[in-house]
Amino acid sequence: MPSMLPARQFSTLRLADVLTSSLASVQGLPNPLRLVPTNKTVVVLADGLGISSLRARAGHARFLKSLLTKSSVIDGVFPSTTAAGITTLATGVAPGQHGLVGYRVRDADRDRVVNQLTGWDDGMRPETWQRVRTVFERAADAGVPGFAIGPRRYSASGFTQAALRGARYVPAESVSDRFAAARHLLDTEPRALVYLYVPELDVAAHAHGWESDRWLAALEVLDDATARFAAGLTADEGLLLTADHGIIDVPATSHVLFDTVPELVGGVRHIGGDPRCLHLYLEPEAVDEAAAALADTWRAVEGHRAWIFTRTEAVESGLFGDVSPDVLPRIGDVIVAARKLIAYYDSREPNQSARSMVGQHGSLTDEELRVPLIRSGAFSA
């Protein structure tokens, strides 16, 4: 049976270009986003703010809407999940290079699946598991101080150490407090590269859905705080607002318990990824023919509502960017990416709490992949 790879072209402007271009702006260098030279830049990452959701609720984000232009849309990364997206932003390279290729991936050396947001331990060290130098480390080499502003609970996490190393972490709890912290840095640093993280939209979407009142309230808070901050920017201060991924709402009635079809899990040793982007890892003795056979089985059962492809097909098509040999084992032997309004769950899992999530992401749809790139201050269009 033929491959089920999606026929899509990624845009020339990418999430990987945002922070790298911001640093280049401070250095007065040419950059992919064509940002003008500045002394200080602030990059706001609104977790989960897809461009389709922003446009659909533009009446609740009038300031952000006022800055939307034809060039205000960029592609995130595949898979469209936080670990991959934020690390791509912070390193300037695709997941196939930095190594965070999904939410939960295989650690082949220890024969286990690890959570790349919360599962860090001595066997998964941030400084080596994330394989490349960050933009903040390169900024330090150039004499440009780097800062990461976010909630205190993330300040010492393994993921922060992996993705944001080289930045000085500045804890601030509320959205307004984070913007105030950014303003203080701009007022006290002659040059600065500032990353400001806003998780509230993603948290609200997972719990209640992006179409909920909770999500709308979080969007209004972000819009108001961004407008106030932008109003105080000086001529040598630039602001960019983007996101790691978008979100779709999946009702519980659209959960697919894939393990109830035995042939879909035959020969599968580990299951990783997200409910909208499964990574299926076969038994060690399995060879490429076994992956192809399992992919064909999935296509026969789920091909009408998912993209299904082998690791080889994914790598050859460039979905993960250039892939380092060290990263290859972290990618599923077979990948199942939902294209309909569904989410895949394994009913054998002892902990079924994830099935309470409403907002979902991880796959290749425009709603999940396409994110805003909004410019203000010195970067205003």
Would you place residue 6 in the very low, low, confident or very high pLDDT band (cuts 50, 70, 90)?
low
Instruction: Please determine, for residue 89, whether its predicted confidence score (pLDDT) is greater than 60.
Output: yes
**What percentage of the chain reaches a pLDDT higher than 70?**
97
Q: Which of 270, 267, 280 is nearest to 306 (CA)?
A: 280
Contact partners, residue 274, CB within 8 Å, separation at least 6: 79, 81, 102, 103, 104, 360, 361, 362
Q: How far is CA 176 from its chain centroid?
A: 23
Q: pLDDT tens for residues 140-185?
A: 999 999 999 999 999 999 999 999 999 999 999 999 999 999 999 9
Instruction: Please determine, for residue 37, whether its predicted confidence score (pLDDT) is greater than 70.
Output: yes
Place of tokens 């079924």: 352
Would you place residue 5 in the very low, low, confident or very high pLDDT band (cuts 50, 70, 90)?
low
Place of tokens 């902990």: 351
Q: pLDDT tens for residues 340-378?
A: 999 999 999 988 888 999 999 999 999 999 999 999 999
d(CA 169, CA 149): 6
Contact partners, residue 165, CB within 8 Å, separation at least 6: 126, 127, 130, 134, 136, 137
Residue 176, both tokens: 């307004």
* Alpha-carbon dihedral sign for residues 105, 110, 111, 114: negative
HSE of 328, CA atoms in CB hemisphere, 13 A:
9
Instruction: Please determine, for residue 8, whether its predicted confidence score (pLDDT) is greater than 60.
Output: no
Q: Which of 370, 378, 373 is nearest to 68 (CA)?
A: 373
Instruction: Please determine, for residue 79, whether its predicted confidence score (pLDDT) is greater than 70.
Output: yes
Q: pLDDT tens for residues 120-142?
A: 998 899 999 999 999 999 999 99
The whole-number pLDDT of residue 363 equals 98
Q: pLDDT tens for residues 173-223?
A: 999 999 999 999 999 999 999 999 999 999 999 999 999 999 999 999 999
The H or E element that residue 337 is part of is strand 334-338
Cβ contact 26:144 at 8 Å: yes
DSSP per residue over 112-151, as a string? EEEETTT---TTS-HHHHS-S--HHHHHHHTT--EEEEE-
Rounded mean pLDDT, 95-99: 98
Q: Which of 325, 332, 316, 339 is nearest to 250 (CA)?
A: 339
Cβ contact 84:102 at 8 Å: yes
The whole-number pLDDT of residue 354 equals 87
Contact partners, residue 229, CB within 8 Å, separation at least 6: 42, 179, 182, 183, 239
Mean pLDDT rounded to a whole number for the chain? 95
d(CA 104, CA 99): 12
d(CA 14, CA 356): 32
Place of tokens 């970067």: 379
The whole-number pLDDT of residue 150 equals 98
d(CA 198, CA 353): 24
Would you place residue 68 in the very low, low, confident or very high pLDDT band (cuts 50, 70, 90)?
very high
* Domains defined for the chain, CATH in brackets: 16-101+116-247+364-377 (3.40.720.10), 252-359 (3.30.1360.180)
Q: pLDDT tens for residues 263-321?
A: 999 999 999 999 999 999 999 877 779 999 999 999 999 999 999 999 999 999 999 99
d(CA 331, CA 106): 7
DSSP 14: B
Q: CA-CA-CA-CA torsion for 214, 375, 134, 314, nearest 10 degrees?
A: 70
